[in-house]
Structures are given as structure tokens and as C-alpha cells.
Structure 1
Amino acid sequence: MSYICDMKLATLPTANKMLDEKYGELGSLSREQFNEESIAWFYGNMIRERRKELKMTQKQIADKIDREQSYIARVEQGKTDIQLSSFFRIAAVLGIQFIPTFVSVLK
């Protein structure tokens, strides 16, 4: 029985293969754009969830960092290219501390 299950699993596409087919292979412009949008969405979602945990409004966050509510909405939706300084200011308001780790990606 295990052999049959292993064979079925082997025929399933991997996540990377599915991403390659839909967005292009790693290194392609379309895949890089997808990766950037995914990261923006991830951090925006993290900010939104934390804001909701604290029962804060987008306006309250915006007022604390001297920005417009619509800016916070775009950040939470992953629809704006947020500057690192703005991200850290929003995170500080939400009580999130980031400790950067730097690793070389060049081979």
C-alpha cells in the first residue's frame, strides 16, 4: 500500500513547479515581481493582524506615524512599496520589534 501512495505522491507537482508554470522560473522578471508582491502581502497581512489584535484602527496608526489612513490601507493590502523606515515606525506603534539578520546571498 505504501508503494502505491509513494507513486501517487511522486506524480503530484511541487509548489516550485506550479509557481514556475504560473509565474515563470526563478530569476525571470515575472517571477521576481510575484515574489515582491508576495512579500509585500505577507508583511501587510502581519501588520493588519497585529493592528486588529490591538483593536486599533488604520487611522490611529496613521496619526501616530504622521501619514494618511489610506497609506496604512495600501500597506496592509501589499499595494505600496513601503520604505524600511516607515515599516519600522508602523511596527514600533504595533509593538513589533524586528532584529535584522544579514546573510550573503551571493555565491
Structure 2
Amino acid sequence: MDKNEKIRNTKSFDELLDVEYGVIGSEKRDNFEKKAQYFIISETLKEARREAKMTQEQLAAKVGTKKSYISRLENGKCDIQLSTLYKIFEFGLGKKVNLVIG
């Protein structure tokens, strides 16, 4: 069965991810999952900043960092420490952050 046929026969999103990126724990799947998490964080940050009607520069000044760092975060181009994530969302944007470990 070729890849396209496998994709057509999938019954769930998890099965589709298995076909496209490998099973959970494989290097390709782990890389995909990591990039997906960066994307979610970056999109959430952009949306929250826009809701707060703040520019990247204003948010950076409020939390004591540089506009370029906020930009890189919003574009998923850098890692973020958990303490910085809390500082940006809770202090800078007034949003509550909940961490779930599954």
C-alpha cells in the first residue's frame, strides 16, 4: 500500500499523523510535535497581544525585553523559558497561563 492510499484509509487525525510523520516517539514525529507547539505558542501570543491592542515594542517595554525577541517568539524562531512565557502573558498581557503535562 503506498502512502497516498494509507492517507485515504486513515480514520482519525492521529492515524494521519502516524502516516505522515511516524509514530509517537520517532524522531520525525518528535520534530513535528515540537514545531507544532512553537506554532501554537506563537499564534496565541500574537492573538493576545493584538487583543490587548499593543505593539510588539509596547509589550517588550512592559516586560523588559526587546521588540526583536517578541517578534522572534511570534514567528516561532526561538525557544522560550517558562518563566519568560509567564512574564509575557501574565504581567505583559494580563492573561492566565495554565501548564498541562500529559
TM-score by structure 2 length? Answer: 0.80
The aligned counterpart of 1:50 is: 48
Q: Percent identity?
A: 35
Look up the SS of the partner of 1:47 in the other structure.
Answer: helix
Structure 2 residue 17 is the aligned partner of structure 1 residue 19: yes
Per-residue Cα deviation, 1:4-62 (whole angstroms, up to 9, x for no partner) = xxxxxxx6522122212222211101111111111111111111101111110001111
Query: Superposition pairs for residues 26-105 of structure 1, below 5 Å?
Result: 26-92=24-90, 93-101=92-100
Shift of 1:100: 3.9
Unaligned runs of 5+ in 2: 1-7
Kindly name which structure, 1 or 2, has the bigger radius of gyration based on alpha carbons. Answer: 1
> What is the alpha-carbon root mean square deviation over aligned residues?
1.8
Q: 1 or 2 for the larger relative contact order (CA 8 Å, sep ≥6)?
A: 1
Unaligned runs of 5+ in 1: 1-10
Distance in 2 (CA, whole Å) between partners of 1:96 and 1:78 is 20
TM-score by structure 1 length? Answer: 0.76
